[in-house]
Amino acid sequence: MPWIAGILVVAADPSWRVVGEFKALAAAVVSNEPHGAASSTIEALLADMEGSTDPDEAGDGKSKEELFGVLEQCGVLIAARCNADEAKDLRTWVLRVARATAEARSEGGLLGIGGVCVSEDEQSALSRIDAAISVKG
């Protein structure tokens, strides 16, 4: 799920900086992973989500809209399977990964001057990701 969120941020404003954004995405997934009591429930939930999709086809040929739909389905699963603390931890993890991806490289400007940390398109994607994984119910 955090990978999908990061990919949606990268796709929102693609540029030649994509390598840096994918590096930030990978680092953020690992460094922000939930720990403690919530992690076992989250691991089981993620395993169920991953098990329901053929890994060779996950994301292949899916549009941004379809990927946002996948995140919305994840939000429903989170509401059904996690307690409030676990849901908050998982949601925070996904949002931190998405934000770290968006902030990996400045956008616009010339040679790093005059750019913004997060573009309007990336901010829009972050807002949609937040709404998609908000706990429903």
Residue 56: the pLDDT is: 46
How many C-beta atoms lie closer than 10 Å to residue 57's C-beta? Answer: 9
Residue 83: the pLDDT is: 83
For residues 36, 37, 40 and 45, what is the CA-based torsion angle, rounded to 10 degrees? -110
Q: What is the pTM for the complete model shown?
A: 0.75
In a domain, 57, yes or no: no
In a domain, 55, yes or no: no
Residue 29: the pLDDT is: 83
Question: 66 burial class (0-12, 13-18, 19+ CB within 10 angstroms)?
Answer: exposed
Residue 123: the pLDDT is: 93
For 112, the domain range is 2-50+63-133
In a domain, 101, yes or no: yes
In a domain, 124, yes or no: yes
Residue 113: the pLDDT is: 66
Q: Give the three-class secondary structure for 107.
A: strand
In a domain, 11, yes or no: yes
Split into its structural domains, the chain has a count of 1
At a CB cut-off of 8 Å and minimum separation 6, what does 33 contact?
Answer: 39, 93
The pLDDT profile of the chain, 137 residues, written as one tens digit per residue, is 788 888 898 888 887 677 888 888 888 888 877 766 556 766 776 676 666 555 445 455 678 888 888 888 888 888 888 888 888 888 888 899 999 988 887 666 666 666 677 888 999 999 999 999 885 55
The rounded distance, in Å, linking the Cα atoms of 10 and 25 is 9
In a domain, 127, yes or no: yes
**Contact present, 18 and 10 (Cβ < 8 Å):** yes
The rounded distance, in Å, linking the Cα atoms of 131 and 61 is 23
